[in-house]
Amino acid sequence: MGAPGPVGRSDAGTAGSVMAAVPASLPAVVARLRAAGCVFAEEEAELLAAAAGTPAELAALVQRRVAGLPLEQVLGWAAFCGLRIAVEAGVFVPRRRTGFLVEQAAAVAPPHPVVVDLCCGTGAVGAALAARLDGVELYAADVDPVAVRCARRNVPAGVGRVLEGDLDAPLPRSLLGRVDVLVANAPYVPTDAIATMPPEARDHEARVALDGGVDGLDVQRRVATAAPRWLTAGGSLLIETSERQAPGTAAAVTAAGLVARVARSAEVDGTVVIGTRPGR
């Protein structure tokens, strides 16, 4: 399935009906999280305790977690590529595997690159590239206003611009033919597969962040079609996909006139299709 996979660092399950007294101590929090199906209960308990200023705050955080919210949405942040990324309720939680997209993009970037992060969500990918590469000119865009607000916290104005709108529509025309690296972790879950995703994802991440249409590739195809006119000669489009969907993603990239290859990390279960615009 093309589902983005387990949320964040945790495989934690949910138990919306679990109710208990206010946890009095860390062991009580661990027990309550474990009873709710959280696999990494000890680690989560420590993170929640560190985030809470008072026992009442801790109880409220634990309550939200056992009600099924992703840990990262409860904490308000996710660890990603060595950064702490702000994550608001309902927004897609950046996945560990997407670090592979960042690595691949950094590997093809020239010095002082112009970088575009389409379907940016929290802006995690663009923020990680800006942290890694010197002199980046970064543009990130998303259609979801909550994601855009979140991305503006993670990609401050001095680092890049975050724009709101459908795919590449909000990008400034001055970027046409100037983009060195265009990254997209667009939704790629087939519509029918959303029901089989972990409840943390299917109930607490926006549908627009997950649903890639019948075969999961609808948004990717649109990204591939849009990309060539933005890319400079020799510039690259990088799209995260799944191992199973990679041939379809690569076909879309090839159909757009780019030279496609597939990069794969078994370690993080990351798959990226890289399409290069010929000509350099």
Query: Which of 98, 154, 241, 271 is close enough to bind ligand SAM by CB under 6 A?
Result: 98
Question: To the nearest whole angstrom, how small is the minimum distance from the Cβ of residue 124 to ligand SAM?
Answer: 5
Q: Which residue from 2, 187, 190, 270 is in contact with ligand SAM, where contact means CB under 6 A?
A: 187
Residue 54 burial by Cβ neighbours in a 10 Å radius (0-12, 13-18, 19+): exposed
Per CB under 6 A, the list member of 166, 192, 244, 261 interacting with ligand SAM is 166
End-to-end CA distance of the chain: 36
Q: Which of 14, 73, 122, 242 binds ligand SAM (CB under 6 A)?
A: 122
197 binds ligand SAM (CB under 6 A): no
Smallest distance from ligand SAM to CB 34, Å:
28
Question: Nearest approach, Cβ of 264 to ligand SAM (angstroms)?
Answer: 17
Which residue in the block uniquely carries the two structure tokens 């702490």? 84
Does residue 185 touch ligand SAM according to CB under 6 A?
A: yes
Spatial CA neighbour of 118 closest among 179, 73, 178: 179
**Any alpha helices (H) in the chain, and if so which ranges?**
26-35, 41-51, 55-66, 71-75, 99-108, 124-132, 145-154, 199-204, 207-210, 218-230, 246-255
Count of residues near ligand SAM by CB under 6 A: 23
- Nearest in space to 185 (alpha carbons), one of 141, 234, 133: 141
Q: Contact, 245 vs 73, CB < 8 A? A: no
- Residue choice 167, 224, 227, 256 for contact with ligand SAM (CB under 6 A): 167
Cβ closest to ligand SAM, residue 186 vs residue 217:
186
Place of tokens 């996909």: 241
* Rounded alpha-carbon distances, angstroms, from residue 136 to 49, 65, 129, 181, 237: 37, 37, 8, 10, 16
Cβ of residue 74: shortest distance to ligand SAM, in angstroms?
17
Q: Which stretch binds ligand SAM (CB under 6 A): 29-37, 117-125, 154-162, 251-259?
A: 117-125
Closer residue to ligand SAM in complex, CB, 108/206:
206
Q: Which residue is nearest to ligand SAM (CB)?
A: 121
Q: Which residues 123-162 are close enough to bind ligand SAM by CB under 6 A? A: 124-125, 142-144, 147
Give the separation between CA 68 and CA 66, rounded to whole angstroms.
5
Residues 205 and 245: their CA atoms lie apart, in Å, by 22
3-state SS string for 132-157: HCCCCEEEEEECCHHHHHHHHHHCCC
Backbone angles phi, psi at 163, to 5 degrees: -120, 150
Nearer to ligand SAM, 2 or 23 (CB): 2
Distance separating alpha carbons of residues 148 and 140, to the nearest angstrom: 9
Q: Binders of ligand SAM among 215-244, rule CB under 6 A?
A: 219
Spell out, one character per residue from 74 to 93, where the chain touches ligand SAM: x when CB under 6 A holds, - when not: ------------------x-
Residues that bind ligand SAM (CB under 6 A): 4, 92, 94, 98, 119-122, 124-125, 142-144, 147, 166-167, 185-187, 206, 208-209, 219
